[in-house]
């Protein structure tokens, strides 16, 4: 099981932290799988070079233990699936989606010197990068340590206000970060607890492979497939505008669904298909600007799933000038 606790005979936290740290990827060579040409790699700006990289359910092949994207209708997301890393034929476009060809996701696989493979997911105002950050063994150890040391909120901090009514959050939640930071959403404000050594280590690893700094992490624990999170955008005023959000998944793989703001609900003004990704154990999803300004995302219920999932979203929060606020 992914969630077995570490016993006293296993490594200390300090040695575990050192073991799971990654080195900063070099600015040197990287290899494009499709072309075998050497080029510079910037994980936040991976470009798609050809039409062959467009995703279509009819021309993709699925390989094991990697992320799966499906691109289907809103009421039938699970019928089609395509691999995020293997495109073998020229793209096909359904007749009913001709107007939204540019909105469909694209990808490119790039390997750096540190053996990290970035996969690009892009569309109209959609820009994400996906990476298997930790090996299965490393991810198992992280999951076990998270279950041992992380404590979650309870009471009023475990409730949110939706359309004027208070509801229990259908998952466990807690935040850690720099002193004085907080995050407000759905009528609730979550104050950051101090960084745990484990969380600081994960933060530093993500910063080293992305070149981005983060001062806050929101952690959600889903006990099984019944726990979920509804459609929302992470575009609150507390967040530094334009800064990416880094989402680390541990445990049970779960479907993660993007929906364009103009294509939601009965009053949708456009026809843009949703994008579904199966987030795998030990993988990192970078949601780059302007994704959260135009696309809602959710983790829907999957009642047949029984495993625990822990998700960490690392963010860059606005730091308030305390001296100015005191003068006021």
Helix-helix angle 13-20:197-210, to 10 degrees: 10
| Residue 103 confidence (pLDDT) | 46
Report the Cα 310 to chain-centroid distance in Å: 11
| Residue 114 confidence (pLDDT) | 53
| Residue 92 confidence (pLDDT) | 34
Looking at residue 98, what DSSP letter applies?
A: G
Cα–Cα dist 274/1, whole Å: 32
Q: How are strands ordered across the β-sheet holding 82-83?
A: 82-83, 68-70, 275-279, 254-260, 295-299, 229-232
Query: Positive or negative CA dihedral for 93, 59, 103, 108?
Result: negative
Cα–Cα dist 26/30, whole Å: 9
| Residue 91 confidence (pLDDT) | 34
Contact 22, 114 (CB under 8 A): yes
| Residue 183 confidence (pLDDT) | 83
Enter the tokens of residue 151: 């404590």
| Residue 130 confidence (pLDDT) | 97
Contact 257, 297 (CB under 8 A): yes
| Residue 189 confidence (pLDDT) | 81
DSSP assignment of 12-43, as one string? -HHHHHHHH--PPPPSS-EEETTT--EE---T
pLDDT in tens, 83-139: 333 222 233 333 444 444 444 444 444 434 356 889 999 999 999 999 999 999 999
| Residue 186 confidence (pLDDT) | 64
Pick the CATH number of 25-327 from 3.90.400.10, 2.60.120.590, 3.90.470.10, 3.40.50.1480: 2.60.120.590
| Residue 187 confidence (pLDDT) | 67
Q: Identify the segments of the chain with pLDDT beneath 50.
A: 1-13, 16-17, 22-113, 325, 328
């Amino acid at each position: 099981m992914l969630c077995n606790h570490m016993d006293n005979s296993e490594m200390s936290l300090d040695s575990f932290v050192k073991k799971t740290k990654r080195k900063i990827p070099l600015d040197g060579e990287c290899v494009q799988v499709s072309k075998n040409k050497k080029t510079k790699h910037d994980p936040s700006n991976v470009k798609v070079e050809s039409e062959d990289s467009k995703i279509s359910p009819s021309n993709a092949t699925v390989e094991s233990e990697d992320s799966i994207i499906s691109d289907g209708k809103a009421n039938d997301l699970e019928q089609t699936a395509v691999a995020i890393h293997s495109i073998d034929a020229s793209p096909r476009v359904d007749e009913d989606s001709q107007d939204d060809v540019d909105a469909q996701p694209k990808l490119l696989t790039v390997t750096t010197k540190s053996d990290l493979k970035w996969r690009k997911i892009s569309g109209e105002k959609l820009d994400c990068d996906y990476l298997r950050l930790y090996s299965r063994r490393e991810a198992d150890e992280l999951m076990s340590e998270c279950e041992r040391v992380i404590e979650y909120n309870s009471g009023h901090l475990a409730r949110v206000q939706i359309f004027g009514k208070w509801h229990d959050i259908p998952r466990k939640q807690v935040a850690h970060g720099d002193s004085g930071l907080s995050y407000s959403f759905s009528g609730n404000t979550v104050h950051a607890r101090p960084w745990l050594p484990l969380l600081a280590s994960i933060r530093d690893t993500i910063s080293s492979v992305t070149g981005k700094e983060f001062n806050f992490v929101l952690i959600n624990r889903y006990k099984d497939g019944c726990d979920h999170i509804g459609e929302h955008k992470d575009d609150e005023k507390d967040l530094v505008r334009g800064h990416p959000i880094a989402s680390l998944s541990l445990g049970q793989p779960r479907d993660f669904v993007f929906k364009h703001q103009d294509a939601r609900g009965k009053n949708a003004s456009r026809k843009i298909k949703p994008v579904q990704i199966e987030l795998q154990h030990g993988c990192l999803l970078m949601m780059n600007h302007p994704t959260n300004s135009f696309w809602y995302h959710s983790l829907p219920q999957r009642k047949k799933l029984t495993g625990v999932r822990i998700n960490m979203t690392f963010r860059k929060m606005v730091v308030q000038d305390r001296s100015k606020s005191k003068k006021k």
